[in-house]
Amino acid sequence: TTGQPAADETVDAPTSDRVLGAPLVELNHVNKHFGELHVLQDIDLTVHKGEVLVVIGPSGSGKSTLCRAINRLETIDDGSIAVDGKTLPEEGKALAQLRAEVGMVFQSFNLFAHKTVLDNVTLGPRKVRGMSKKDAEELARTLLDRVGVGNQAGKMPAQLSGGQQQRVAIARALAMQPKVMLFDEPTSALDPEMVNEVLDVMVALAEEGMTMIVVTHEMGFARKAAHRVVFMADGQIVEEAPPEEFFTAPKSERARDFLSKIL
Ligand code: ADP
Ligand code: MG
């Protein structure tokens, strides 16, 4: 690792001195257009096993498209994206299998409205992983407990608060036993008093060693859990640095300008 943490960093930086593993998500020269708009411009990015990467940047800079491309919810024009050494196939059963290795949590919770909380979590493991109903339910209950909504299993999503729904969405993604978790502004649709209950679950996941790519403007989370912050603007990675460095001494004018607006 890179030296000893300073004395005043030791309390809040449990993850920053963790030893990272091999490359897990690798983007090489990824380009994507929407018509005339060059939304991802020659993106090179490697995320290592156990790493927590925070992606920030102005609205429209391509952050969601980047996440969606990693999960193949969007195609790319050229370049390559590999997860655990495997380049994602474009379609078919192999795509479903590989997509299962990449858990995704969206801004809008996207739970199945007409299924119970428990069924929301068991569906993927049963359909994609071929798990028995009994095993899937056991796993789901463990995960729902872990995110603090174990007592909500029989309810419908609409009966839960936004913060509870988002925690169910995290449990649902974890039920697929993904190798990496993508979070696209997971707290930005929440009422302020519910933000921390979701961030706390994410910090705990980070501390357990989950590989995470998190699009968020929550600086507290970034400082506490991120190894690295990537700043995107206009489809490009403009700057990347450890959070303490990025937030205190951003190098680019665009990052300074952005931070002055959100801090
Ligand atoms: P961010 O998440 O950083 O706000 P997005 O990745 O959502 O940015 O969008 C980047 C740009 O691509 C925006 O200008 C957006 O309007 C455009 N865009 C996103 N999705 C589509 C789409 N399906 N078709 C056309 N343009 C899109
Ligand atoms: Mg977005």
pLDDT of residue 257: 95
Give the number of the atom of ligand 1 that is nearest the alpha carbon of residue 67: 6
pLDDT of residue 89: 67
- Cβ-based burial of 208 (10 A; exposed 0-12, middle 13-18, buried ≥19): exposed
What residues in the chain have per-residue pLDDT under 70?
Answer: 1-19, 88-91
Give the number of the atom of ligand 1 that is nearest the alpha carbon of residue 62: 6
pLDDT of residue 152: 98
Distance CA 62, CA 235 (A): 5
> pTM to 2 decimals?
0.91
pLDDT of residue 19: 63
Residues in the chain: 263
φ, ψ for residue 181, nearest 5 deg: -115, 130
Which tens digit of pLDDT belongs to each residue from 55-101? Answer: 999 999 999 999 999 998 899 999 999 999 888 666 677 777 778 89
Find the helix packing angle between 117-127 and 162-174, rounded to 10°.
20
Q: Which residues contact 65 (CB under 8 A, 6 or more apart)?
A: 32, 39, 40, 74
Mutational pocket test of ligand 1: of 34, 54, 106, 108, the residue with most ligand atoms within 8 Å of the beta carbon: 34
